[in-house]
Amino acid sequence: MIIRIATEGQYRLEGEALSALDRLDDQLLDALEADNREEYESNFREVLALIRGRGSRVPDTELVESDLILPAPDTTFDEARSLFDSYPRQLS
């Protein structure tokens, strides 16, 4: 799966890393639904760290369509509530 982090670039994520991302994403969405700002911020940092740490960066010269686009790392809680409104629960 190709994941774009807005303002940063694209990463390729596969296998167990994708399953781990799916679990973290569910926690992030749960935090947004519960209106829990601290949990959201913690979960979003974990999601970004997982993608950066376990994903492989797609070179800027390689043109591939993103399967999933995440907002910029500095996205606020209020912005995230509307941005994640149509975000899929199941990534794979």
What pLDDT, on the 0 to 100 scale, is given for residue 88? 59
- pLDDT per residue rounded down to tens, the chain (92 residues): 999 999 999 999 999 999 999 999 899 989 998 999 999 999 999 999 999 999 999 999 999 999 999 999 999 998 988 887 766 555 55
pLDDT for the residue 85? 72
Helices (DSSP H) in the chain: which residue ranges? Answer: 15-33, 37-54, 77-83
Q: What is the pLDDT of residue 89?
A: 59
Neighbour-count burial of 80, counting CB atoms closer than 10 A to its CB (0-12 exposed, 13-18 middle, 19+ buried): buried
- What pTM did the predictor assign? 0.86
